[in-house]
Structure 1
């Protein structure tokens, strides 16, 4: 089948909000429009009944009793598989004070999901213990290679420093942890620097499959917060940050005073290489005194940016307003009381794009495009 276009040209007449239908798409190169389709309900929420024998403490814990959010997604065996961050309450209050593991939800139709009762990825008594205990494994993104290897990027949180790390699997069950993404670069130059949110560039094949894309012989990954940086790799495990001629990190995208992304920008799901360039969906934080007053402070919305297909560091265009924002009740309740639509997972399934997001560090939501005819 022919490669599907990833946007729809409804520019002239789409003006409804995302509360039940599609929101206007601002520019032709953008993905969407996305619409809500789950009757205003999350697809994954916390569960106080599921237990897990924690290999680090030796205790049985309620591993997803507090929150389930910030999901990655992949199509595997004709099903959508969503890897979501799950937190248990460990006696403290506040964001970043709990223990995170990754759970798995599976859907055959994109609407109904069944969940595994145990986490599928978690801090263990292994060589990554110093980086992952006791904060855990957080905020995944996932891609597949042409030969069927699954590459997971995630945050290792040891309650001292967040580190962007890589793991791989052939079956989404058995994982090999490779450690911090930049551990080997220049004798660990960036290993003790805050890093997170690694989104590897993908492309859509002729048969509708998303795979990691090579540009000029390398894989590319956007990462970081409050600015977005760029890194390259030849093996998807060891990564080299893009630096300027002086050897300093060079951000490829920054917050913008006067816009919805005035406070911070953070890479979202794996970007997609299209005929227009690299389309990156990103998370945007607002500071209302220099941004958009109606959004308030720390409101996370979603934006889109276009980068050059041959020079991934070169930004070509950027949305001026969010294409998704917290509006429904479940998107405004949780650890972020003002709401978030924190986008992290993107798949192409049954001729439609499904975009998965975390809501207020509390639940998982999904929006989708209309099926192409």
Structure 2
């Protein structure tokens, strides 16, 4: 009996030491990765719902409180020396995520931290070519980037409450947009037109101090997808051909991993970035609810990851972080529509020699975190005490 008791005590001590080690694993970034990103403690969240904003909806012909319920999932770019954040806003007229109408708002900043917002949305369902794809669900989750000639391109989810489709629009001022509809409408005789498609991250690079859209082997390159990471190419930024395998099916470039923070989803984030070490894809990893999840992070939580792809072959996956560099830690990142915790990254810009990362907090607010390459900080810690 005494030997059994000693064995049990030893096993308990061993498990305790393993658990203590797991809780205190230091989160270090490899040389190819960006970070860490530091939150703006005194300002965040930078954008919150506004119940006073009113907009005459062109479809329903009614005045709506278009950003009263939630403001989240932002795109970001630079215009005339200022950062512009394009954020998703939900009105009050529905119940639950995806069952209100979403429109895209516009906010402008000289320092990347404090913002002045336009009173009305800049991208929204209208009586136009995209109405049948966008009404009544709306325009969701934008990602925006700019060409070398100054044309802004936004990819967003067109949601008609039937099938979510990636749509595209162009602008020269980020306020007036020309919509082109679903990006896969013409590809392969419409084979992928009616599939669910979301979350597009176009390939960019910093050229002469400005982050711009670039080509790979003569074509524009786009990572996209929610469950898996897929890709697509284009010659005009409007019509896109998904990258397929030998059987003509979507080629999976990266997928969820059991036991990691991205065990359920690997959803593409801000525009991908060509660097000296390869292409970095910033993405949103969702943890599984039960079996197969990473026990160090909340079930169903969204954390931010980075993956590296080959610069000469953007379809070739190289490696990815095993730990998120940004995860829900602050109260506003864990309270709102999505109480499991969300830092959902969609916008990142190079501004005044720093990287400003904009993300949605619990599907309810917008926050920012900044990476200074000259003075890099640590990524978010792993300790479960912060969950």
On the 8 A contact 1:165/1:180 being kept in 2, the answer is yes
Asked if 1:64 is matched to 2:67, the reply is: yes
Shift of 1:24: 4.7
Q: Secondary structure at the match of 1:186?
A: helix
**Cα 1:331/1:282, change in 2 over 3 Å:** same
Q: Which residue of 2 aligns with 1:360?
A: 362
Shift of 1:25: 4.0
On the 8 A contact 2:227/2:264 being kept in 1, the answer is yes
Q: Secondary structure at the match of 1:257?
A: coil
On the 8 A contact 2:141/2:157 being kept in 1, the answer is yes
> Distance between the aligned counterparts of 2:123 and 2:229, measured in 1?
26
Shift of 1:310: 1.2
Shift of 1:188: 1.2
> Distance between the aligned counterparts of 2:249 and 2:97, measured in 1?
30
> Distance between the aligned counterparts of 2:318 and 2:373, measured in 1?
28
Shift of 1:371: 6.2
> Distance between the aligned counterparts of 2:278 and 2:372, measured in 1?
22
> Distance between the aligned counterparts of 1:83 and 1:169, measured in 2?
13
Q: Which moved more, 1:152-161 or 1:180-189?
A: 180-189
> Distance between the aligned counterparts of 2:44 and 2:32, measured in 1?
29
On the 8 A contact 1:252/1:315 being kept in 2, the answer is yes
Query: Which contiguous aligned blocks of 4+ residues in structure 1 show a shift greater than 6 angstroms?
Result: none
Shift of 1:50: 0.5
Q: Secondary structure at the match of 1:293?
A: coil
Deviation by residue 1:246-275 (Cα, 9 ceiling, x = unmatched): 111111010001111001110000010001
> Distance between the aligned counterparts of 1:40 and 1:293, measured in 2?
31
Asked if 1:134 is matched to 2:116, the reply is: no
**Cα 1:338/1:89, change in 2 over 3 Å:** same
> Distance between the aligned counterparts of 2:317 and 2:42, measured in 1?
36
Q: Which residue of 2 aligns with 1:170?
A: 172
Q: Secondary structure at the match of 1:195?
A: coil
Q: Which residue of 1 aligns with 2:19?
A: none
Asked if 1:79 is matched to 2:82, the reply is: yes
Asked if 1:109 is matched to 2:143, the reply is: no
Q: Which residue of 1 aligns with 2:263?
A: 262
Q: Which residue of 2 aligns with 1:286?
A: 287
Q: Which residue of 2 aligns with 1:99?
A: 101
Q: Which residue of 1 aligns with 2:276?
A: 275
Q: Which residue of 1 aligns with 2:183?
A: 181
On the 8 A contact 1:286/1:298 being kept in 2, the answer is yes
On the 8 A contact 2:75/2:144 being kept in 1, the answer is yes
Q: Secondary structure at the match of 1:153?
A: strand
Q: Which residue of 2 aligns with 1:6?
A: none
The 5 Å alignment of 1:1-373 reads 24-39=27-42, 41-90=44-93, 92-205=94-207, 207-287=208-288, 288-370=290-372, 372=374
Q: Secondary structure at the match of 2:296?
A: helix
Q: RMSD of aligned C-alpha atoms?
A: 1.4
Q: Which runs of 5 or more structure 1 residues have no equivalent in the other structure?
A: 1-22
> Distance between the aligned counterparts of 2:44 and 2:276, measured in 1?
35
Number of aligned residues? 350
> Distance between the aligned counterparts of 1:131 and 1:70, measured in 2?
20
On the 8 A contact 1:25/1:33 being kept in 2, the answer is no
> Distance between the aligned counterparts of 1:50 and 1:208, measured in 2?
36
Q: Which moved more, 1:256-265 or 1:363-372?
A: 363-372
Deviation by residue 1:212-256 (Cα, 9 ceiling, x = unmatched): 111111111010111110111111111000001111111101000
Q: Secondary structure at the match of 1:131?
A: helix
Deviation by residue 1:104-162 (Cα, 9 ceiling, x = unmatched): 11100112111000001100011111000000000000110011111100000001010
> Distance between the aligned counterparts of 1:68 and 1:25, measured in 2?
32
Q: Secondary structure at the match of 1:111?
A: coil
Q: Which moved more, 1:287-296 or 1:171-180?
A: 287-296
TM-score (ref. length: structure 1): 0.92
On the 8 A contact 2:105/2:120 being kept in 1, the answer is yes
Greater share of helix residues, 1 or 2?
2
TM-score (ref. length: structure 2): 0.88
